[in-house]
Amino acid sequence: MTFRSLNQRFLAPGAQTLMIFGIVALCQPWSLFLHQYGVTLTLIGLIAFLVTSKIAPDPEAEEDFFDEAADVLELHGEHPEDVQEKGTYKDGGIV
């Protein structure tokens, strides 16, 4: 597992969860400890989210459409007349 995939899967959602938990801790009336550190938790989550959102995800593998198109022509066993030779096009139209 690469760091980028680890970031997209765990770190960025964890930072969002920490922000939400900080807001909930700030607004709840039962625990003085959570109320005192609610702003701190929210700020730590916000900074963590700002850092993790700048890391780009893994690039997706590009598909090679040329090979797939060539395979389709090979399956049919025929070549259209207008694409057999390079000189069959004149002025953008098919001769």
| Inter-CA distances, 15 with 1, 49, 67, 72, 91, Å | 19, 5, 42, 47, 59
> What pLDDT sits at residue 50?
96
Q: What is the mean pLDDT of residues 31-59?
A: 93
4-15 per-position pLDDT tens digit: 889 999 999 999
Q: What string of H, E and C letters represents the secondary structure of the chain?
A: CCHHHHHHHHHHHHHHHHHHHHHHHHHCCCCHHHHHCHHHHHHHHHHHHHHHCCCCCCCCCCCCHHHHHHHHHHHHCCCCHHHHCHHHEECCEEC
> What pLDDT sits at residue 40?
95
Better pLDDT: 72 or 38:
38
Q: What are the φ/ψ torsions at residue 54 (nearest 5 degrees)?
A: -85, -15
Name the pLDDT band for 57 (thresholds 50, 70, 90): confident
59-90 per-position pLDDT tens digit: 877 765 555 555 555 555 555 554 545 555 55
